Structure 1
Amino acid sequence: MERVVSLVPSLTEAVAATAPGLLVGVTDWCSHPAGLAATRIGGTKNPDTAAVLALRPDLVLANEEENRAPDLAVLHEAGIEVLVTGIRTLDQAFAELHRVLVTGCGLARPRWLDEAEAAWAALPPPSREPRRAIVPIWRRPWMVLGRDTFAGDLLARLGIRNVYADHADRYPRIPLDELNAAGAELVVLPDEPYRFTAADGPEAFPGLPAALVDGRYLTWYGPSLAAAPAALRAALR
């Protein structure tokens, strides 16, 4: 592959860390690495498909959750190869990163991917019973992690049991009074997609310890996975 467009910030970072010269187009939300020299083609949910086509990519990288099927269909119909990833667990993330970089982009497997796998494999088992937590990802309305999510799988490996892990929805809307009555021991507040901060989020859960975590370590699948175990463990303490 010589020309790649990425519609997924995590995959943009993964390709940039391996062969940055391949990227000719990325989304407005692709913030890592900083200063990336590639054409911006809109958001993950509203890419400018005409701009993507104008870049004449050999491959477009997408994700079943982050990108919309109608946009990908436009690219398919124009004869563009689109590699759609599905990532709901850490193991899937590692497998899909290998597929994107090695199979899709034709690159040698990068060292950082091996280092990330080793970092998670070396993670010691939790030293106590899992802590019950709620994990908001938005407010107004309040939304939390539900079933079958990548972030939920990472937290489970770190000794955190998502109270809503068995909910029928992956990102359910739960009223605040119900969240506070859910029997959680901890509230985990990432800084994306909603930017929770010490002054915006913890006050909604009086008496409940709050862990502010870097959303890139919790929700991105790429080079950040190598540092994520240590960073998340520190934040969850």
Structure 2
Amino acid sequence: MRVVSLVPSLTEAVALTLPGVLVGATDWCTHPAGLDVARVGGTKYPDLDRVRALRPDLVLLNVEENRREDAESLRAAGVPVRVTYPRTVPGALTELAELLAELGAPAEPAWLRAARRAWAAPHRLAPARRAVVPVWRRPWVVLGGDTFAGDVLHRLGVINAYDRHAERYPRPNLAELRDQRPELVVLPDEPYRFSADDGPEAFPGVPCALLSGRHLTWYGPSLAEAPALLADQLSRPTLAG
């Protein structure tokens, strides 16, 4: 089996579970450290000629990370693809187990069993706090409902102010965000790299929690440590202004 992954989460999952199966990955696939496979460009604009040249038996994609036209182009060229789309933690765990079994894993890896245990009863904010969750700036984009990251936060005691919005990634302006009067602003460091110096100043007087974007949005081995790490970061917000 020869696999090319265009999804950083799945790159890590496959590389750690089935060494030797992965033959290609994107330039953004940073885990596991020292991964030695062919690089095929970015997640949004991969070099499909390079992908095809690797003669993969399967290419891994994700609805949010990758473009539909790339999946269709690969299919048209006769390259098998698998498109993932987890929107909840249980859904991600199930998809991972099914994928790894199909790729030849004889049993669930230890990291996946650890992730199941970690998410069975994660530590939650008490009391739960109503929050806005920007994932981009210039323009502002926030986390809406029906998203994997939204489910992660829900399970940790965060009430997303935009959970029932018609769009999965609404684009309110800053005034609209402030009008929500959140008790907490959650600022992940990816895809936009919010930091203590870039983000909290837009919400004076509101506690801001800086989160690991990888642990908030990746579904793979990072799921095992995500509940404890994110819960700790959520419990130590900073106050700007």
Alpha-carbon distance in 2 for matches of 1:172, 1:85? 22
Structure 2 partner of 1:143: 141
Scaled by the length of structure 2, the TM-score of the pair is: 0.94
1:1-237 map, 5 Å: 1=1, 3-103=2-102, 105-108=103-106, 109-124=108-123, 127-128=126-127, 130-237=128-235
Note the residue ranges of structure 1 that are not aligned, 5 or more in a row: none
Alpha-carbon distance in 2 for matches of 1:65, 1:139? 18
SS in 2 for 1:112: helix
Amino acid of the structure 2 residue aligned with 1:16 = A
Percentage identity across aligned positions?
A: 63
Scaled by the length of structure 1, the TM-score of the pair is: 0.96
1:45-97 deviations in whole A, cap 9, x for unaligned? 11111110000001111111211111111111121111111111111100111
Note the residue ranges of structure 2 that are not aligned, 5 or more in a row: 236-241
Amino acid of the structure 2 residue aligned with 1:168 = A
SS in 2 for 1:21: coil
Instruction: Give the deviation of 1:124 after TM superposition.
Output: 4.6
> Could you tell me whether the CA contact under 8 Å between 2:124 and 2:231 is conserved in 1?
no
Amino acid of the structure 2 residue aligned with 1:39 = A
Alpha-carbon distance in 2 for matches of 1:216, 1:165? 21
SS in 1 for 2:23: strand
Larger mean CA deviation between 157-166 and 33-42 belongs to 33-42
Amino acid of the structure 2 residue aligned with 1:37 = D
Alpha-carbon distance in 1 for matches of 2:150, 2:177? 17
Instruction: Give the deviation of 1:127 after TM superposition.
Output: 3.6
Q: When the two structures are aligned, how many residues end up with a matched partner?
A: 234
Provide the aligned C-alpha RMSD in A: 1.1
